[in-house]
Amino acid sequence: GAGVSQSPSNKVTEKGKDVELRCDPISGHTALYWYRQRLGQGLEFLIYFQGNSAPDKSGLPSDRFSAERTGESVSTLTIQRTQQEDSAVYLCASSTIGTVNTEAFFGQGTRLTVV
Amino acid sequence: DAKTTQPPSMDCAEGRAANLPCNHSTISGNEYVYWYRQIHSQGPQYIIHGLKNNETNEMASLIITEDRKSSTLILPHATLRDTAVYYCIVRVNSGGSNYKLTFGKGTLLTVNP
């Protein structure tokens, strides 16, 4: 596909369960970002991958959150032992790195509801 | 730790120009100004970016002051579909830890018929 693809688009899970969210970035995009957006709130940075460099995990809210990315391909965000406050839309974006055409393209997000 | 300041909301009449201000008084010499918007229930969408010169594309124009401490996004003929939250962001383009996009609260632009 031409854009950033996220799956699933919606996920309802029970409190305490683990969930895994997937992001397929645009081919060739070295940088990949995850954000969380609670209802009516702004985008909260979670983690940023840049090629083979160590990811910037400074935005992960707790050790229940983790993310992986293999090379410049798909990324997965895992939330363990989900809590109700984890309910939000999780957005993924990708971009190139350089001096031109560096805009980030966002997926449509995964809406996570913890019940 | 967003480095920009924007008004929380603005209104604009359909067909008129919408001028959205952004203050970034601590911007560094190698940081670009980016604008994104988020229409309700959608992912953010890139609009435009610039370093120090004014920029124009099919969506908007970006006017950056000479001292680069503020900028204005201009939608020349606003339509109802331009109602969205508009985010002004500063960042470098050369990779590294400062490459991530940090979103502030943005400006909710409401275009009225």
B50 and A CB contact within 8 Å: no
Whether B49 sits inside 8 A of A42 (CB atoms) is: no
Burial of B21 (0-12, 13-18, 19+ CB in 10 A): middle
Q: Is 60 exceeded by the pLDDT of residue B100?
A: yes
Rounded distance between C-alpha atoms, residue A50 and residue A90, angstroms: 19
**Tokens 């435009």 sit on residue:** B48
Model pLDDT for residues A4-17, shown as the tens digit of each residue: 999 999 999 999 99
Question: Given an 8 Å threshold on Cβ–Cβ distance, is A33 in contact with B101?
Answer: yes
Q: Are residues A97 and B99, on separate chains, in Cβ contact within 8 Å?
A: yes
Q: Is A72 helix (H, G, I), strand (E, B) or coil?
A: coil
User: With an 8 Å Cβ cutoff, are B102 and A45 in contact?
Assistant: yes
Collect all residues of chain A within an 8 Å Cβ-Cβ radius of residue B85. 42
pLDDT in tens, B69-90: 999 999 999 999 999 999 999 8
* The pLDDT of residue B2: 56
Check CB contact of A43 with chain B, cutoff 8 Å.
yes
Sequence-separated (6 or more) residues with CB below 8 Å from residue A24: A1, A4, A5, A6, A7, A73, A74
Residues B39, B44: Cα–Cα separation, whole Å: 7
CA angle in degrees (0–180, nearest 5) for B11-B15-B21: 40
Q: Among the ranges A4-18, A101-115, B25-39, which has the highest mean pLDDT value?
A: A4-18
Q: What is the rounded distance in angstroms from the CA atom of residue A35 to the CA atom of residue A43?
A: 6
Measured between CA atoms, how close is A112 to chain B, in angstroms? 14
Of A31, A48, A104, the CB nearest to B46: A104
Give the best residue of B100, B102, B107, B108 to mutate against chain A (max A CB count within 10 A). B100
Which strands sit side by side in the sheet containing B18-23, from one edge to the other? B18-23, B70-75, B61-64, B55-56
Burial class (CB in 10 A: 0-12, 13-18, 19+), B8: exposed
Residues of B in contact with A50 (CB under 8 A): 95-96, 99
Asked if the model's pLDDT at residue A92 lies above 80, the reply is: yes
Whether A8 contacts chain B with CB within 8 A: no
Is-cis flag, bond preceding A8, omega within 30?
Answer: yes
Q: Which residues of A touch B43 (CB under 8 A)?
A: 4, 91, 93, 106-109
* Closest chain B residue to the Cα of A90, Cα to Cα: B43
